[in-house]
Amino acid sequence: MSAPDLYGTPQVMVFKDGKVGAFSMQFDDSMETQAEFAIPHMNERGLVGTFFVNPDKDRYRTHRETWEVICPRFGHELGNHTMRHEGAKDYEEADHEIGECARHIWKLYPNRSKLRPFMRGGGTTWNTSREQMQELMQKYFLFRAPRRVGISDGNDTGDPAAFAKEALEEGKWVLVGFHGVGGQWISCSEERFVKLCDYLAANKDELWVGTTGDVYRYVQERDAVSKVALTDATDTGFKLAIECDESKVDTYGAPFAELYDQPLTVSVRVPESWRRFCVEQDGEAETYETIEVDGERHARFDVRPNVDAALVRLVGPD
Ligand SMILES: [Zn+2]
């Protein structure tokens, strides 16, 4: 068999790790009940979410350690909800409210993309034009996430996992939003929240529970893929590079790979004898096990687009 025949055509998976759907949980206003109830329940189950915080609010300061230490450590994302959730009387104040919040969050995630979700806060007044707001979003690498469904006991008392099931059944990305969890305003009861978390934990293999930023980057990159190249094939490995068309995403005038750093999952058919393999890219290495897909052996692994090719090597049984 010649080397090219050893491998199938590489496919970029619709969602990370080949999962069927994606689900993102958002939490607004850095509320105490989120720090006290929601985050511990999520951490216990290895679930992550996006917390839209207001760093210049007392309710933020009460749980500073949760937002600034626990959230980054457990893989949660902080989203920009402005410093005080009070709008702005002019452009200068808007720049402060949004810019300070952005800088505050960037400092807590020194190794992550600066691209962050943004919500300017319900019920606030901004004396800024649409163009000025657009300018600030560009300046601070902010994006507006797709529409979400609010979950609270007031608007929905049905199955709290219904939206997660929809993501799985329809193979799409569903976003939900919370305010209070087990108390405070627009609250969802703790029991219902736990029920949702249990459902998500039980369906982890099929449903990607990702932060808004991670799923957003994945989807943006995935939809911009212009080329997937498998080269340098030998019977013990190959190189794989993914190219995205930069004109299809908003790069905010920054280098593509600086903002779009979410790896894409690729699946490639490999020889039947392959079991373990190693993927090296950008100075990092990860070892994976091959899987069986429709009676064929596949290597499924993560590759960052628009950086140097990943090096995939068969690892001996040792
Ligand atoms: Zn809010």
CA of 254 to the centre of ligand 1 (A): 29
Domains of the chain: which residue ranges? 3-15+225-315, 20-204
Q: How far is the CA of 81 from the centre of ligand 1 (A)?
A: 7
Give percent of the chain with pLDDT exceeding 90. 91
CA 93 to ligand 1 centroid distance, Å: 18
Closest CA to 217 of 105, 310, 141: 141
Residues forming beta bridges with residue 264, ordered by sequence position: 303
pTM value is 0.96
Domains 3-15+225-315 and 20-204 belong to one CATH topology: no
Confidence class for position 157, pLDDT limits 50, 70, 90:
low
C-alpha dihedral over 251, 256, 258, 263, to 10 degrees?
Answer: 120
CA of 123 to the centre of ligand 1 (A): 8
Interval between CA 29 and ligand 1 midpoint (Å): 5
From ligand 1's centre to the CA of 75, what distance in Å? 22
Residue 114 CA to ligand 1 centre (angstroms): 21
Report yes or no: 173 and 146 within 8 Å, Cβ to Cβ.
yes
As a whole number, mean pLDDT of residues 46-75 equals 98
Report CA(47)–ligand 1 centroid distance (Å).
22
- What is the 124 CA–ligand 1 centroid distance (Å)? 9
* pLDDT at residue 159 in the model: 86
Q: What is the pLDDT of residues 233-282, one digit of tens each?
A: 999 999 999 999 999 999 999 999 999 999 999 999 999 999 999 999 99
pLDDT for 316: 82
- 3-class DSSP assignment, residue 261: coil
**Which residues sit with Cβ closer than 5 angstroms to ligand 1, an ion?**
28-29, 121
| Per-residue confidence (pLDDT) for residue 318, from 0 to 100 | 61
Task: Print burial letters for 285-310: b (CB count within 10 Å at least 16), e (below 16).
Answer: eeebebeeeeeebbbbbbbbbbeebb
Looking at residue 165, what is its pLDDT?
Answer: 96
What are the residues whose beta carbons fall under 8 Å from the beta carbon of 34, sequence distance 6 or more? 27, 51, 178, 180, 181
| 110 three-class SS | coil
| pLDDT over threshold 90, residue 293 | yes
- What CATH architecture applies to the domain 20-204? Alpha-Beta Barrel (3.20)
- Could you say which of 2.60.40, 2.30.30, 1.20.58, 2.30.320 is the CATH number of the domain covering 3-15+225-315? 2.60.40
Write down the H helix ranges in the chain: 3-6, 32-33, 39-44, 58-62, 64-65, 71-73, 91-108, 130-139, 162-170, 190-202, 212-224, 256-259
- Residue 3: pLDDT over 60: no
Average pLDDT score over residue span 100-127: 96
What spacing in Å lies between the alpha carbon of 85 and ligand 1's midpoint?
Answer: 6
Average pLDDT over residues 137-151: 94
- 154 CA distance to ligand 1 centroid (A)? 17
Residues 164-218 have pLDDT tens digits of 999 999 999 999 999 999 989 889 999 999 999 999 999 999 999 999 999 999 9
Q: Residue 96 C-alpha to ligand 1 middle, in angstroms?
A: 17
Please state, rounded to an integer, the average pLDDT across all residues of the chain.
95
* Both structure tokens of 256: 């593509």
